[in-house]
Amino acid sequence: MDISSILQGGYQHPTSRSWQSRKPLVKSMFMYPIFITDDPDARVPVPTLPGQCRWGVNQLEGFLGPLVKKGLQSVILFGVPFKCVKDGRGSPADDESGPVIQAIKKLRSLFPALYIACDVCLCEYTDHGHCGLIHTDGTINTPPSVDRIAQVAVNYAKAGAHCVAPSDMMDGRIKAIKRGLIDAGLGNKCTLMSYSAKFASSLYGPFRDAAGSVPSFGDRKCYQLPPSGRGLARRAIQRDTAEGADIIMVKPALPYLDIIADAAQLAPDHPLACYQVSGEFAMIHAGAAAGVYELKTMAFESVESMVRAGATLILSYFTPEFLEWL
C-alpha cells in the first residue's frame, strides 16, 4: 500500500478524531427557538414537537433559568397570540402588551447576559395568515409589507431585542429594516439576521402547529424559495449582504447543506446561521423512537454536518440537550 493511501493513523484516537473538524461544536453555537403565547401563565405542550411548549411570560424564569445555568447563551422568540384581534396588516405583532415585547422585557430583566433574538413576521398576526399585506386578489403587496415588517423590527429593537430576524421573505425588507434601525439610533445596537435562503419546505408542519400560522388560503410558494432554486438562494444571499444583513441564515438545514456551503463561500466574512427546523427535529425523534438509530448520535451527526458545511450558528430545538451533551 502506498504511503499516501494511509489516512486512518490520523484519526485512530478520540482526541485526534476531534482535530479533524475545522470548527469544534460548542454551546455558544446554539440558539434556542421559544414559542411565547399571550396567556402569561401558559405551559402548553406541542404534540408534534417532542418536549417543546408554548410558554407564557410568567413561566420563563422557571423554564430558562436552569438552561442559562447550563450555558444557554441565546434564544429566538416567536409570538403565538390567541387572544388578540388579528387584521390585514398584523397590527398585534408589535403591541407593547403582546407576547414578544413582554417577553423581551422580562428576559432582559431576568437574564441580563442572555442574547435575545426576535423572529419578525406577520403570519401569526394577520387574519389571513400570510407573511405580508395582500392585494384584493390575494397576492402579496410588497411595498407596504416591507414597511410594516421594518416597523415591527424596529419596535422589537426599541423594546430591547439584541437581534431582529425577518423570516417573511419580502423583497427589499433587509434594506428597509437596516434603514429603520439606523434612523432610530439602533443601527449599532441591534443585529440584523436575515432568513436569506428560506425555502418553501414540507418540514415546517410542527412549527405551524405550534405557532398557529397556517395561511387561510393558498400557500407561501410565491415568496419562499422553491426547493430546487439554488441560483435564487445564491442571489438572495448576495442581495441581503449588500442590503446590510449582519448574519445570513439558511432554512431548513439538513436538506440544504449545499446552500449553507454556498453561503459560506458567498459571504465568507458574515456569521452563517442555519435553522434545524421543526420537521427535522421531529424526524430525528421519530427515527429514534422507531429504533432506526440512537437519538443522541443522530442529533450530533445532523448538526456536525451543518458545521462542516459552514454554519457558525444553529437554531435548534435540541439546544437543551446539547447544553447537557457538550
Q: Which residues are catalytic?
A: 198, 251
Q: Is 61 helix (H, G, I), strand (E, B) or coil?
A: helix
**Could you give the CA distance from residue 142 to residue 139 in angstroms, rounded to a whole number?**
9
CA angle (159 as vertex; 68, 192 as ends), nearest 5: 80
How far apart, in whole angstroms, are the C-alpha atoms of residue 101 and residue 152?
A: 10
What is the spatial distance between Cα 193 and Cα 197, in angstroms, rounded to a whole number?
A: 12
Residue 82 Cα to chain centre, angstroms: 22
How many whole angstroms separate alpha carbon 286 and alpha carbon 52? 15
Instruction: Write out the three cell numbers for 261.
Output: 456551503
Q: Which residues contact 190 (CB under 8 A, 6 or more apart)?
A: 157, 161, 162, 163, 164, 181
Three-state DSSP class for 121? coil
The DSSP output letter for 216 is S
**Strand residue runs (E) in the chain:** 30-37, 43-45, 53-55, 74-80, 115-120, 163-166, 191-198, 247-251, 272-276, 313-316
Facing residues of 43 across strands? 55
Instruction: Identify residue 293 by its one-letter amino acid code.
Output: Y
